[in-house]
């Protein structure tokens, strides 16, 4: 988590850093700070809270510099106070550091450094790095000191250093946390994510793991952790057609919900042809040969997409599929043969839990990843990757990436079916025809957002919610419940409809709101019984069903309808209602929808 930015060049460094940090705020927003060199000393400006507060403080100082580093924090070690805010500096205030990641052995290092009389001014793990460098600099030149420092650190780190005595020097280092370096016309940029600097550059170096960038007096070189120089080639920076602006929407989340039809179109187009009845997701088909089992690894919302994908792989290709939370997968002792294919799903491509899970099986099993970021760590560590083409998702709550992941899983499962001929070509064509209609059907729902708003406003004061779904819409219930809790802070829980009677039904009382995802699919009759059981006990039913389902309507206190759709694709429509319902409830409660408390968009710690 956390975002870091660095700049040296001809322009006003603090403006560029602030702009970059604003774009990286999705990585954490507990506090933010900058450091630069002034009168041969490190100067820091730091604020608890969001980047806008820091911006105000910087503007008041009227300082203009041409080199600076900045940080936006998601607190791990040490609460979000001003003292714990990055940048941190050494005892003599000669070196400043910003850090994204976690130093696992920081307590041992801190003990050792304290014994050598280093004075610490924060509770962070990061501060040990800068003191360790200070200690090394007493004995070695800069480059050797850097190598000695980073080679004793355990954990993950993307680091930037500046030095009071060398104002033209900036050092960037990457291990297990992302870092990008770019240059344009003698302006030099570092950022955790390309969105932090994409408006200034056309090409960028997406650094490999264990890389040092040594930038001094407008000259730069790349080194590995042994100190050997290495070659890295810049890549073109894709300018997204989805702009990082709210475009008149009140929140990024709302804009991103409304972008879903376009995101699906962009994600699926060019990957299939109905005329030829063919699918090509851009993955070498040899990966689809002799698959006996599929394991999907993912977290949070991406895990819910995986749960939906499971049905696609099992039904379209007959391959037994399981879905694991990446965070828990690591602890399992599994005896998978080479014939198990792994699929990692991650919007950011940086989720530490998923990265750790794929590293466990890398080299032994083939891994296909589905991410929204082409140069992310997860795409780079997979045997093949397929990108969702959603454009950047800024709101912390995932929306458009979720539905785009589902559409890609659908295509991937069909392309395996195409290879194994598990289902007939005519069937594949009819699935593709149904998929092509989805964006229009999504638009029909989005056009009715006002009616969803009205219903959400009836319920916004409730203290807790239950969600139910069955079969392929059970993951939609899980996702809807997650959306509600993360952005509105209302407690909610989701269950497979059939599980209510095994315990949770005891929670139902007069007026308990229950959201039932019950479109016309193979589970519809059963979920109607579950709804009935809940209603009998006083639940207020907010249902999502298929147009014309009068029986469901008669059981519902409020009902949202989708058009008739192939049962495998219904999650792409029912989800939209759950997203808008959560959004409007949170809106009414007046909370920070795009940046809910305690969260960050990219979870790069375990």
398 in contact with ligand F6R (CB under 6 A) = yes
Min dist. Cβ of residue 433 to ligand F6R (A): 29
Q: Which among 35-43, 151-159, 347-355, 579-587 is the span making contact with ligand F6R, rule CB under 6 A?
A: 347-355
The dihedral sign for the CA sequence 87, 375, 153, 171? negative
> Do residues 130 and 89 touch, judged by C-beta distance below 8 A?
yes
Residue 346 C-beta: closest distance to ligand F6R, Å: 3
CA–CA distance from 5 to each of 24, 67, 159, 190, 480 (Å)? 9, 11, 10, 5, 34
Confirm or reject binding of residue 417 to ligand F6R (CB under 6 A): no
Pick the binder of ligand F6R from 176, 348, 488, 574 (CB under 6 A).
348
The binding track of 471-490 with respect to ligand F6R, each residue x by CB under 6 A or -, is -----------x---x----
Please identify which residue in 31, 149, 177, 301 interacts with ligand F6R, judged by CB under 6 A: 301
Give exposure, 8-40, as e/b (b: 16+ Cβ within 10 Å): bbeeebbebbbbbbbbbbbbbbbbbbbbbbeee
Residue 304 CB, shortest distance to ligand F6R, in Å, is 8
Distance between CA 37 and CA 163 in Å, rounded?
Answer: 7
- Measured between alpha carbons, how far is residue 132 from residues 78, 110, 126 in Å? 19, 9, 10
182 part of the interface to ligand F6R, by CB under 6 A: no
Site string for ligand F6R, 58-97 (x = CB under 6 A): ----------------------------------------
Q: Is 570 in the site for ligand F6R (CB under 6 A)?
A: no
Residues 483-522 that bind ligand F6R (CB under 6 A): 486
CA-closest candidate to residue 513, choices 561, 575, 474, 461: 461
Of 149 and 379, CB closest to ligand F6R: 379
Residue labelled with tokens 């929808």: 593
Nearer to ligand F6R, 72 or 369 (CB): 369
Which of 6, 261, 300, 513 binds ligand F6R (CB under 6 A)? It is 300
Instruction: Give Cβ neighbours of residue 504 (< 8 Å, ≥ 6 apart).
Output: 466, 493, 495
Does 351 interact with ligand F6R (rule: CB under 6 A)? yes
The DSSP bridge partners found for residue 96 are 89, 162
| Shortest Å distance, C-beta 152 to ligand F6R | 30
Which range in 348-356, 441-449, 459-467, 571-579 contacts ligand F6R by CB under 6 A? 348-356
Among 102, 323, 357, 397, binds ligand F6R (CB under 6 A): 397
Q: Which is nearer to ligand F6R, 33 or 596 (CB)?
A: 596
Whose CB is nearest to ligand F6R? 300
Which of the ranges 94-102, 212-220, 299-307, 573-581 carries the binding residues for ligand F6R, by CB under 6 A?
299-307
**What is d(CA 483, CA 301) in angstroms, rounded to the nearest whole number?**
9
Instruction: Please answer whether residues 322 and 296 qualify as being in contact, where contact means their C-beta atoms are separated by less than 8 angstroms.
Output: yes
Size of the site for ligand F6R (CB under 6 A): 14
Residues 6+ apart with CB under 8 A from 112: none
Give 531-583 as a DSSP string: HHHHHHTTPEEEEEEETT-HHHHHH-SEEEEE----TTTHHHHHHHHHHHHHH
Please tell me the number of Cα atoms within 13 Å of 81 on its side-chain side: 9
- Taking the CA atoms of residue 299, residue 302, residue 307 and residue 308 in that order, the dihedral angle to the nearest 10 degrees is 180
Nearer to ligand F6R, 191 or 327 (CB): 327
Taking CB under 6 A as the rule, does residue 347 contact ligand F6R? yes
Residue with smaller CB distance to ligand F6R, 340 or 405: 405
* Runs of H (alpha helix) within 182-251: none
Catalytic residue among 2, 55, 110, 255: 2
171 or 344: CB nearest ligand F6R: 344
Question: Which stretch in 101-109, 309-317, 346-354, 573-581 sits in contact with ligand F6R by CB under 6 A?
Answer: 346-354
Rule CB under 6 A: say whether 603 interacts with ligand F6R: yes
Per DSSP, helices labelled H in 62-153 are 106-115, 127-137, 142-150
Angle, in degrees to the nearest 10, between helices 400-420 and 260-268: 30
| CB contact set of 350 (below 8 Å; sequence gap of 6+) | 177, 178, 373, 376, 377, 378, 602, 603, 604
392 belongs to the binding site for ligand F6R (CB under 6 A): no
**Catalytic site residue 437?**
no
Q: Which stretch binds ligand F6R (CB under 6 A): 188-196, 252-260, 297-305, 500-508?
A: 297-305
Q: Are 535 and 497 in contact (CB under 8 A)?
A: no
DSSP three-state, residue 349: coil
Distance of CA 121 to the CA centre of its chain: 32
Distances (CA, A) of 236 to 76, 158, 200, 221, 347: 34, 22, 13, 19, 21
Ramachandran class of 85: left when φ > 0, alpha when ψ lies in -120 to 50, beta otherwise: beta
Would you count residue 191 as binding ligand F6R (CB under 6 A)?
A: no
Near ligand F6R by CB under 6 A: residue from 299, 394, 406, 472: 299
Phi, psi of 123 (to 5 degrees): -100, 10
Among 76, 260, 302, 595, binds ligand F6R (CB under 6 A): 302
Is 2 a residue of the active site? yes
CB-wise, 198 or 346, nearer to ligand F6R? Answer: 346
354 binds ligand F6R (CB under 6 A): yes
Looking at 52-60, 344-352, 509-517, 534-542, which segment touches ligand F6R (CB under 6 A)? Answer: 344-352
CB-wise, 381 or 540, nearer to ligand F6R?
Answer: 381
| Complex with ligand F6R: residue 109 or 398, whichever CB lies closer | 398
Residue closer to ligand F6R (CB basis): 88 or 400: 400
Q: Is 346 in the site for ligand F6R (CB under 6 A)?
A: yes
Q: Write down the least CB distance from residue 398 to ligand F6R, Å.
A: 3
Sheet architecture: strand order including 293-298: 320-325, 293-298, 340-346, 367-371, 384-387
Q: Which phi and psi (to 5°) does residue 202 adopt?
A: -105, -25
Considering the complex, what minimum distance in angstroms separates the CB of residue 539 from ligand F6R? 26
The smaller minimum CB distance to ligand F6R, of residues 381 and 486, is found at 486
Q: Check: CB of residue 35 under 8 Å from CB of residue 98.
A: yes
| Catalytic annotation, pick one of 55, 360, 366, 601 | 601
Which run of H or of E encompasses 17? Answer: helix 13-24
> Residue 585 in 3-state DSSP?
helix
- State in angstroms the smallest separation of the CB of 148 from ligand F6R: 34
Give catalytic residue positions. Answer: 2, 601
Residues in contact with ligand F6R by CB under 6 A are 299-302, 346-348, 351, 354, 397-398, 482, 486, 603
């Amino acid at each position: 988590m956390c975002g870091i930015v660095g700049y040296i060049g001809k322009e006003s460094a603090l403006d560029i850093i602030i702009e970059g940090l604003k774009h990286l705020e999705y990585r954490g927003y507990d506090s933010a700070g900058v450091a630069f060199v002034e009168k041969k000393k490190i100067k820091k400006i730091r604020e608890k809270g969001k980047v806008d507060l820091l911006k105000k403080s910087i503007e008041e100082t009227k300082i203009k510099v041409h080199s600076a580093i900045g940080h936006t924090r998601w607190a791990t070690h040490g609460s979000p106070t001003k003292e714990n805010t990055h940048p941190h500096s050494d005892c003599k205030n000669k070196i400043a550091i910003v850090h994204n990641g976690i130093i696992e052995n920081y307590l041992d290092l801190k003990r050792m450094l304290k014994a050598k009389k280093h004075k610490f001014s924060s509770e962070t793990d990061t501060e040990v790095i800068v003191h360790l460098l200070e200690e090394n600099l007493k004995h070695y030149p800069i480059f050797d000191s850097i190598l000695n420092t980073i080679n004793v650190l355990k954990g993950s780190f993307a680091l930037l250093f500046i030095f009071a005595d060398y104002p033209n020097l900036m050092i960037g280092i990457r291990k297990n946390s992302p870092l990008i370096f770019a240059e344009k016309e003698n302006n030099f940029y570092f950022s955790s994510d390309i969105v932090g600097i994409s408006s200034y550059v056309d090409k960028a170096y997406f650094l490999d793991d264990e890389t040092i960038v040594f930038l001094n007096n407008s000259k730069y070189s790349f080194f590995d952790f042994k100190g050997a120089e290495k070659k890295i080639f810049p890549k073109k920076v894709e300018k997204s057609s989805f702009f990082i602006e709210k475009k008149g929407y009140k929140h990024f989340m709302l804009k991103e919900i409304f972008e879903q039809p376009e995101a699906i179109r962009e994600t699926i187009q060019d990957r299939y042809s109905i005329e030829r009845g063919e699918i090509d997701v851009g993955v070498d088909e040899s990966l689809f040969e002799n698959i006996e089992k599929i394991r999907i690894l993912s977290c949070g919302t991406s895990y819910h997409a995986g749960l939906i994908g499971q049905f696609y792989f099992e039904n379209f290709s007959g391959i037994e599929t399981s879905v694991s939370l990446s965070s828990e997968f690591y602890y399992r002792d599994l005896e998978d043969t080479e014939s198990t294919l792994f699929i990692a799903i991650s919007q950011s491509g940086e989720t530490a839990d998923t990265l750790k899970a794929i590293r466990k099986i890398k080299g032994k099993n083939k891994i296909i990843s589905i991410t929204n970021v082409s140069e992310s760590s997860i795409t780079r560590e997979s045997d093949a990757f397929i990108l969702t083409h959603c454009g950047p998702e800024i709101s912390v709550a995932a929306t458009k990436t979720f539905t785009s992941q589902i559409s890609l899983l659908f295509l991937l499962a069909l392309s395996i079916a195409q290879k194994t001929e598990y289902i007939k070509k005519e069937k594949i064509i009819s699935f593709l025809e149904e998929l092509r209609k989805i964006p229009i059907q999504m638009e029909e729902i989005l056009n009715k957002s006002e009616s969803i708003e009205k219903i959400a406003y009836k319920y916004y004061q409730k203290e807790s919610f239950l969600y139910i779904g069955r079969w392929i819409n059970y993951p939609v219930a899980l996702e809807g419940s997650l959306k509600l809790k993360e952005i509105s802070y209302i407690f909610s829980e989701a269950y497979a409809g059939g599980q209510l009677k095994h315990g949770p039904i005891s929670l139902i009382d007069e007026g308990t709101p229950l959201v039932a995802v019950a479109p016309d699919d193979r589970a519809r009759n059963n979920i109607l019984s579950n709804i009935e059981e809940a209603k009998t006990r006083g639940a207020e039913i907010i249902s999502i069903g298929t147009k014309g389902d009068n029986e469901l309507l008669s059981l519902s206190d409020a009902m949202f309808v989708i058009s008739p759709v192939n049962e495998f694709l219904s999650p792409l429509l029912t989800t939209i209602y759950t997203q808008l319902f959560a959004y409007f409830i949170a809106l009414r409660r007046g909370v920070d929808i795009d940046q809910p408390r305690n969260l960050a968009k990219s979870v790069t710690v375990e």
